[in-house]
Amino acid sequence: MKTMYRIGALLGVFLLLAGCSSLLSGFSIGNIADTAIGAAAGNPSDTAKMNQLAQAGTAVQSAAAEITPEQEYYIGRAVAATVLTTYKAWDGPAANAYLNRLARGLALASVLPETYAGYHVLIMDTDDINAFGAPSGFILVSRGLLRCASSEDEVAAILAHEIGHVSLKHGLHAISTARWTDAALQIGKFAAQNSDSQVLRDLTNSFGGVISDIVKTMVTTGYSRDLEKQADLEGVRILHDVGYDPMAMVRMLTAMKARLKPDGKDFAKTHPDPDTRIAYVTVAINAQTPVAVPTAAQARARQVRYQAALSKI
């Protein structure tokens, strides 16, 4: 697990150095404040140096936006591994296999139907009502949340929401809004004042927190209300396009609301109020064309699959 964490941290450093090493090569001035004053006074030499620092910061932000699918895979894998140090995996091969088949079918209707190594779902052995969608399709779902579902459509609603987070790359927002900005500032500060070795140490420290930033966002602080709404609405669309009942999302939110625990560690801590979510989800569903009602045989097959896989969850 430590190895995966280091991989994620080093990826950030490699991205950064690839984006701005040429800009910083040979760059050395004694005092960034003096340079800023000189630039403001119209000194051509100091203005050029300040422009070079600005370009380096821009390179960092550009690198953040150019994370490749392979790099995103290693970041997501490290995030999932870190979450699993708190929430242990549940040993239920049949249930896990069922969720993986279901998620991969749902993902085909998402804006990101395929990731570097595909979507992967794992059940967490906890009564907490929660789920996490890490970058590149690593989805973790608690036993407590799965117990809120009473049908395959409702399990699909859980997964569709998390696929929404993954496909819209919400996990990576934690990097772009925190570490990338810090790194850009550090480049300007340390490139102007310290040796290359000091620059590397500070940048490594900065990117060493990339994984923890994403984990903190998913587990502790939660995504913004806007991002949660995006995931909900994308989940509703996915359910509709695949052929599951989108109202299953409303039924899941209602069941989750009934099991809320004050001051608990579950979804209530990291998600908007269920009533708010139910309201805008219902509006979105009413705006869709109705989904074809499954035949009796189809409905029976879904329930049989669901019961066989999750009856002992």
Note the pLDDT of residue 155: 98
8 Å CB contact between 57 and 90: no
End-to-end CA distance of the chain: 27
* Residue corresponding to tokens 């069922």: 98
Note the pLDDT of residue 198: 57
Give the start-to-end residue ranges of the domains of the chain.
2-70+171-218, 87-168+223-310
Task: Compute the distance between CA of residue 232 and CA of residue 175 in angstroms, rounded to an integer.
Answer: 22
Note the pLDDT of residue 44: 58
Lowest mean pLDDT: which of 66-75, 169-178, 181-190, 256-265? Answer: 181-190
Note the pLDDT of residue 64: 47
8 Å CB contact between 58 and 121: no
Residue 5 structure tokens: 């964490």
Alpha carbon distances (Å) from 233 to 142, 151, 163, 243: 22, 20, 11, 15
CA-angle at 296, arms to 290 and 301, nearest 5°: 100
Lowest mean pLDDT: which of 116-120, 180-184, 268-272? Answer: 180-184
Task: Compute the distance between CA of residue 92 and CA of residue 241 in angstroms, rounded to an integer.
Answer: 29
Selection from 52-56, 61-65, 68-72, 147-151 with the highest mean pLDDT: 147-151
- List pLDDT tens digits, range 157-214: 999 999 999 999 998 877 755 466 555 555 555 455 554 555 555 554 554 566 777 8
pTM score, two decimals?
Answer: 0.72
Residue 306 structure tokens: 């669901």
Task: Compute the distance between CA of residue 15 and CA of residue 11 in angstroms, rounded to an integer.
Answer: 6
Backbone angles phi, psi at 124, to 5 degrees: -95, 135
Backbone angles phi, psi at 190, to 5 degrees: -85, -30
- List pLDDT tens digits, range 1-40: 444 333 333 333 333 333 333 322 332 323 333 333 344 4
Note the pLDDT of residue 72: 86
Interacting residues of 243 by C-beta distance below 8 A, sequence separation 6+: 291, 292, 294
Note the pLDDT of residue 50: 46
Of the candidates 177, 71, 89, 207, the one whose C-alpha atom is nearest the C-alpha of residue 139 is 89
Note the pLDDT of residue 172: 84
DSSP string over 62-99: HHHHT--HHHHHHHHHHHHHHHTTTSPBP--HHHHHHH
Note the pLDDT of residue 213: 79
Interacting residues of 138 by C-beta distance below 8 A, sequence separation 6+: 76, 77, 79, 80, 120, 122
Task: Compute the distance between CA of residue 63 and CA of residue 73 in angstroms, rounded to an integer.
Answer: 16
